[in-house]
Amino acid sequence: MLRALGNHNYRLWATADLISVTGTWMQVLGLNWVVLEMTGSATSVGASILLSTLPALLLGPWAGALADRFSPRRIVLIAESTHLLLALVLAYVVWQGLPIAAVYALTAMSGLIGTFGGPALGRFASQVVPRDDLGNALAWNSIVNSIGRVLGMSLAGLLVATVGEPVLFLVNAASFVAVIATIAVMRTGEFHPLEVSAPEHAGVRAGLAYVRGHRVLIILFALGFVLSGLGRNYQVTMAAMAEGPLGAGAAGYGMLSSVFAVGTVLGGVVTARIRELTIPVLLAAAAATSVLQALSGYLPGIAGFAAMILPIAAGAVLIDTAKSTRLQLDSADGMRGRVLAIQGTVAAGAGAVGAPLLGWLCERLGPAEALLVAGLATLAATAAAAVAWRSATRVPTGHAAQVAPAFATAGS
């Protein structure tokens, strides 16, 4: 369970990641509150979120191609430094009470930098641990992200009420300093360099052709889209259940959110104990959480619903970690940035489609019925993915397995 933590560089990275995630969630909460305060419109908050995710939808493959061609360490340092500057500027804009257009512009710029920094960050992080420990490291990343989210939102709520929103953005800026400093002091001799893409394989078209030629990757992306769209937008369905059938209001929604957060931490711990995160493990977790989701709206009272939310949240972490592990380990090193970028694009698209679709289903059918329909849909998608995976991995007798093309090796 503690394999990745035995690595000196990974311990440094996990600590920096916890600080960074905490700062990021402080800024997310602060930014949403600022937009709501300045406009009085929940739609404007949604527009702000859309601006931050739009670059990933439009430019994800190009960001991945960049990460595959150049040093991920250098790209990460540039991205983190730019995020630091943007957080400082955002603090100044809010402090001075400048127009909302300035906030929107900074949000879009932050999303753009995140789009290009994300694939490079994934490639860099996978160089910190040996290949055999990658799944364990990703599981610990899930634990760190869950704890950082809880800490960030809790601290943000406290600081907003006492010192104001600009301080949240200043704290986030400081968190990027921690990441930059950590990268600077890592032992470069203990990195595990990945192959980089040769010039003839470096473009977006080559990356898309690579994915088209690997059915298992397509299956993972397709299943991930359905699971993310219909099985991950629990902020929508929990709010609808708390306000509607459960009659628990804002307090109940807060309690359910806390239960969900605890479930993600438990899911990370369970995932870290699994030696090998295989596709059958992913499919089993997806099937189980789909059944739980379909039934969750029909248990009596908020306690019954919360009892279902806990394993669903844990299962979501296991699914996401297993999927990310397989996408990275089952693709060529020189294509990993583009594969991670496509994963980010798929997730952004699923969120953009799934959240309003679930909201519409809750309004038309009712929250419990929406959970039932969504759970059955994700269960059907999981079954289809299982059949497709068995077909894709069946190797005819006398045929050798396909070998991924070789690329040049570069340092970190």
Mapping DSSP onto H, E and C, the string for 246-308 reads: CCCHHHHHHHHHHHHHHHHHHHHHHHHHCCCCCHHHHHHHHHHHHHHHHHHCCCCHHHHHHHH
Pick the last residue of a domain from 194, 227, 244.
194
Mapping DSSP onto H, E and C, the string for the chain reads: CCCHHHCHHHHHHHHHHHHHHHHHHHHHHHHHHHHHHHHCCHHHHHHHHHHHHHHHHHHHHHHHHHHHHCCHHHHHHHHHHHHHHHHHHHHHHHHHCCCHHHHHHHHHHHHHHHHHHHHHHHHHHHCCCCHHHHHHHHHHHHHHHHHHHHHHHHHHHHHHHHCCHHHHHHHHHHHHHHHHHHHHHCCHHHCCCCEECCHHHCCHHHHHHHHHCCHHHHHHHHHHHHHHHHHCCHHHHHHHHHHCCCCCHHHHHHHHHHHHHHHHHHHHHHHHHCCCCCHHHHHHHHHHHHHHHHHHCCCCHHHHHHHHHHHHHHHHHHHHHHHHHHHHHCCCHHHHHHHHHHHHHHHHHHHHHHHHHHHHHHHHHCHHHHHHHHHHHHHHHHHHHHHHHHHHCCCCCCCCCCCCCCCEECCC
Is there a contact between 317 and 149 (Cβ–Cβ < 8 Å)?
no
Q: Are residues 230 and 338 in the same domain?
A: yes
Q: Are residues 49 and 110 in the same domain?
A: yes
- Residue 160 placed within a domain: yes
What are the pLDDT digits (tens) for 48-93? Answer: 777 888 888 888 888 888 887 878 889 999 999 999 999 999 999 9
- Residue 407 placed within a domain: no
Residues with Cβ within 8 Å of 10's Cβ and at least 6 positions away in sequence, in order, are 4, 128, 129, 133, 137, 140
Identify the domain containing residue 265 by its residue range: 210-393
- Residue 401 placed within a domain: no
Q: Are residues 135 and 34 in the same domain?
A: yes
Is there a contact between 97 and 38 (Cβ–Cβ < 8 Å)?
no
Pick the last residue of a domain from 164, 194, 224.
194
Q: Are residues 186 and 243 in the same domain?
A: no
- Residue 275 placed within a domain: yes
- Residue 408 placed within a domain: no
Q: Are residues 177 and 241 in the same domain?
A: no
The Cα–Cα gap between 134 and 276 comes to 10
Q: One digit per residue, pLDDT tens: the chain, 412 residues? A: 667 777 888 899 989 999 999 999 889 878 878 887 888 765 677 677 778 888 888 888 888 888 878 788 899 999 999 999 999 999 999 999 889 999 999 999 999 999 888 888 888 888 888 877 877 888 788 888 888 888 887 788 788 778 888 999 999 999 999 999 999 999 888 887 766 655 555 677 888 888 888 899 999 999 999 999 898 777 778 878 888 898 888 778 778 878 888 898 899 889 888 888 899 999 999 999 999 999 999 998 999 999 999 999 999 999 998 998 888 888 887 787 888 888 888 888 887 788 788 888 888 899 899 999 999 999 999 999 999 999 988 755 444 444 344 344 333 4
Q: Are residues 114 and 139 in the same domain?
A: yes
Percent of the chain with pLDDT over 90: 35
- How many structural domains compose the chain? 2
Distances 349 to 47, 227, 321 between C-alpha atoms, Å: 15, 12, 19
Closest C-alpha among 297, 277, 327, 266 to residue 123: 327
Q: What is the CATH number of the domain that holds 325?
A: 1.20.1250.20
- Residue 398 placed within a domain: no
Q: Are residues 107 and 151 in the same domain?
A: yes
Pick the last residue of a domain from 194, 218, 235.
194
- Residue 203 placed within a domain: no
- Residue 202 placed within a domain: no
**Considering the entire predicted model, what is its pTM?**
0.77
What are the pLDDT digits (tens) for 225-253? Answer: 999 989 877 777 887 888 889 888 877 87
Q: Are residues 27 and 93 in the same domain?
A: yes
Q: Structure tokens of 295?
A: 């039934």
Q: Are residues 171 and 278 in the same domain?
A: no
Q: Are residues 229 and 319 in the same domain?
A: yes
Q: Are residues 238 and 190 in the same domain?
A: no
Q: Structure tokens of 67?
A: 């990460």
Q: Are residues 373 and 232 in the same domain?
A: yes
Largest CA distance in the chain: 71
CB atoms inside a 10 Å sphere around CB 245: 16
